[in-house]
Structure 1
């Protein structure tokens, strides 16, 4: 019989990785942007179906969805998923809370709300000191810097 837990584990990661390939692709076509959105949703859904699903995992899935919608210029969806990421990150480690704020800042920045984006990025930056892994902390700070350019 099919081990659905194993299938969800494999596909959640494979879809997440494919999403990042498309996020990082220079000159992404409109068709690839749509694929990026679809595969991000697939990743998030497979995470929801995993037995090891937890709020921090939901936070990451919603963060990824917010990111791809921001890249696609669909700011209402980017904001929606950033808010869901923040909700799921409540009570989680600073890494998850900070990245939810980064997603909100990115959505507001893409929506042309620079002051709100700076405020949210500042809140995320304040949480950075509480991030245990130096590499994770630096990635957050780099992402915050890049989104406000």
Structure 2
């Protein structure tokens, strides 16, 4: 397989696994098997982006893995990948919704862990970052996602 073909194949795998993960994220009543599949497809997507993508793809992949772990109440793993997404955004000067969502991922991970002060700190950073989201629809969607972060004790 030549390099171009390998890159194309890895990109296809990355996109397919990202989309499958997203479908599972949005599914209301996942089984335990689907929860595991969601973990596997998120990591598979990020793995393939690592072979044929860009730092922006890596950041988005890390964000998605963090979201999966937050949904599954695996806070430490969510934080690890949320912080990696944020690091990639900061290192590469990614702004707009990518940076806002990276802060959101870290805030959501701290919500799962139960660290209110850190959660609030990153909600504030995410909110400030949202001011730079160019598209109105993207900004509205982001704000709705950010507003879903709250500790159970305050819900």
- Normalising by the smaller structure, the TM-score range is over 0.9
- Matched residue, 1:44: 46
2:141 alignment counterpart: 139
Matched, 1:60 2:60: yes
Please, which runs of 5 or more residues in structure 1 have no aligned partner? none
More divergent stretch after superposition (108-117 vs 30-39): 108-117
1:15: Cα distance to partner?
Answer: 0.4
Residue 89, structure 1, aligned to residue 106, structure 2: no
| Cα offset, 1:93, TM superposition | 1.6
Unaligned runs of 5+ in 2: none
Partners of 1:54 and 1:15 in 2: CA distance: 16
Cα-Cα RMSD:
1.3
Structure 2 distance, partners of 1:147, 1:114, is 11
1:119: Cα distance to partner? Answer: 2.1
Alpha-carbon distance between aligned partners in 2 of 1:95 and 1:54, rounded to the nearest angstrom: 17
Please list the CA deviations of residues 74-115 of structure 1 after superposition, one character each: whole Å capped at 9, or x if unmatched: 111100001100110012123221111100000000111223
Q: Which moved more, 1:132-141 or 1:83-92?
A: 132-141
1:17 correspondence with 2:16: no
TM-score of the aligned structures, taking structure 2 as reference length: 0.89
Question: What is the CA-CA distance between 1:7 and the residue it aligns to?
Answer: 0.8
- Residue aligning to 2:72: 72
CA distance in 2, matches of 1:105, 1:75: 11
In 1, distance between residues paired with 2:55 and 2:22?
Answer: 21
